[in-house]
Amino acid sequence: MNSDLSGKIIVGIAGLGTVGAGVVKILEKHGALIAARSGREIEIGGVSARDRNRDRGVDLTSYRWFDNAVDMAAKNSGINLIVELIGGSDGPALALAREALGNGIGFVTANKALIAMHGKELAALAEKTGAPLRFEAAVAGGIPIIKALREGLVGNDVTAVRGILNGTCNYILTRMEREGLAFDDVLADAQRLGYAEADPTFDIDGIDTAHKTAILASLAFGVEPDMENLPTEGIRNIAPVDIEYAKELGYRIKLLGVAQHTDEGVETRVHPAMVPISAPLANVMNATNAVVVDGDFVGQTVYEGAGAGQGPTASAVMADIVDVARGQGGPRLGVPADQLKTAVPVPVSKHKGTYYLRLRVEDRHGVMADITKILAEEKVSIESMLQRGRASDGGVYIIMTTHMVVEASVAAALNRFTELECVLETPAMLRIEA
């Protein structure tokens, strides 16, 4: 029977792009080692992509080709583990997941969009039919963070998970900072290196990080993945001037995914943040990812490694395949799907933190008084303030960092600033996050 995982593992690989071709390479190079470590043989029983004739840097001629990936998950296909590396939250990836898991066939994926959007449904289906469902590569590429949360930290009440979860954005921010390059030039390089999603706006606009944050929150707090209540900002509007001021003030700008369990509920958010240079996340560069987890017994643990690219991602997929071969089970999303709670979302307006603000204003008397009056009225206390000589497009910059304050107050002050005649452009605001 297809779902019988006591004999050979016969893998069907759906999607032969950056990651799919990487999985074929690992199986070809380390097949014997992996069989020994798994305690059983693992062979490729089928492959599928759109274009049969495309050169993928691997010889696929000996493998059975499926024009329709979903056919690999049919009960009589001879395949007992599907590895989905197509991508996308719906379409062929979802159809394949439903077919495989419905038929009791194991399903391994690197697809964070699929798990973030349909994780609960797929986990419930897998638990009903007894099929394995694993997604290590979906978050932070080569870093075994899913395993850390599901296994290594299982004895803890996790209170916070925050991380640099998108290799493309971290690569872009790193090169913008180090080389003063334009955003678009660096994005093209990230695409060439195989880091970016098929639709790179998912990377740049923070959606990919949001998918990963929703999955981490689910595993950490036992809640359903929730993309509806996850405020998301990307890096498109990061101005070179803020990168410069960050450096001057002892920070570095990073795109973060944050999930915190507070007395009020679950706070999840994705946004660029000013990270103090002394914090572990500030020193994570290029396409590297890192995740910081706070647990009540373990304290803080930090995980760092390659977050994207062929080798690291295929490495994580292989770990899942071996886990399935070893028969390692357990609830698919950390707790049984029917016990996942619906999180009480905490709106970002209630976030308490410190902030970086940048205003471009007219250089004349009274301007500072107008600004500080608003800050006083909105109860925003300033920690530091500096004014620099002329901005290239006129006026001067006023840079401020705040003491701890609730975000609604900062938002109210920013709104009022835009109404001042002396304020020459929409003020910039970045949360400061250690």
Task: Give the closest residue to 312 by CA, choosing from 191, 149, 137.
Answer: 137
The only residue of 111, 166, 174, 260 in contact with ligand HSE, by rule CB under 6 A: 166
Task: Give the closest residue to 356 by CA, choosing from 395, 390, 378, 386.
Answer: 386
User: 136 touches which of ligand HSE, ligand NDP, none (CB within 5 to 8 A by kind)?
Assistant: none
- Are the C-beta atoms of 255 and 206 separated by less than 8 Å? yes
Q: Answer yes or no: 352 catalytic.
A: no
User: Does 51 help bind ligand NDP (rule: CB under 6 A)?
Assistant: yes
Residue-wise DSSP of 226-259: -STT--B--STT--HHHHHHHHHHTEEEEEEEEE
User: 166 touches which of ligand NDP, ligand HSE, none (CB within 5 to 8 A by kind)?
Assistant: ligand HSE
The active-site residue, picked from 25, 212, 350, 379, is 212
User: Does 194 help bind ligand HSE (rule: CB under 6 A)?
Assistant: no
The only residue of 5, 72, 86, 117 in contact with ligand NDP, by rule CB under 6 A: 86
Backbone angles phi, psi at 246, to 5 degrees: -55, -50
CA distances from 53 to 24, 85, 316, 325 (A): 16, 18, 27, 31
> Rounded distance, CA 356 to CA 340, Å?
36
- The interface with ligand NDP within residues 264-323 (CB under 6 A) comprises 308-309, 313
Minimum CB separation of residue 97 from ligand NDP in Å reads 12
By CB under 6 A, the count of residues binding ligand HSE is: 11
H/E element holding 26? helix 18-38
The only residue of 167, 206, 257, 295 in contact with ligand HSE, by rule CB under 6 A: 167
- Are the C-beta atoms of 282 and 276 separated by less than 8 Å? yes
- The interface with ligand NDP within residues 7-36 (CB under 6 A) comprises 14-20
User: 60 touches which of ligand NDP, ligand HSE, none (CB within 5 to 8 A by kind)?
Assistant: none
- The interface with ligand NDP within residues 171-200 (CB under 6 A) comprises 194-195, 197-198
For the chain, helix, strand, coil in percent to 5 are: 40, 25, 35
Minimum CB separation of residue 217 from ligand HSE in Å reads 17
Cα torsion through 300, 230, 165, 184, rounded to 10:
-150
User: 203 touches which of ligand NDP, ligand HSE, none (CB within 5 to 8 A by kind)?
Assistant: ligand HSE
Residues that bind ligand NDP (CB under 6 A): 14-20, 48-51, 54, 69, 85-87, 92, 110-111, 137, 141, 194-195, 197-198, 308-309, 313
The residues assigned a catalytic role are 212
Residues that bind ligand HSE (CB under 6 A): 141, 166-168, 195-197, 203, 208, 307-308
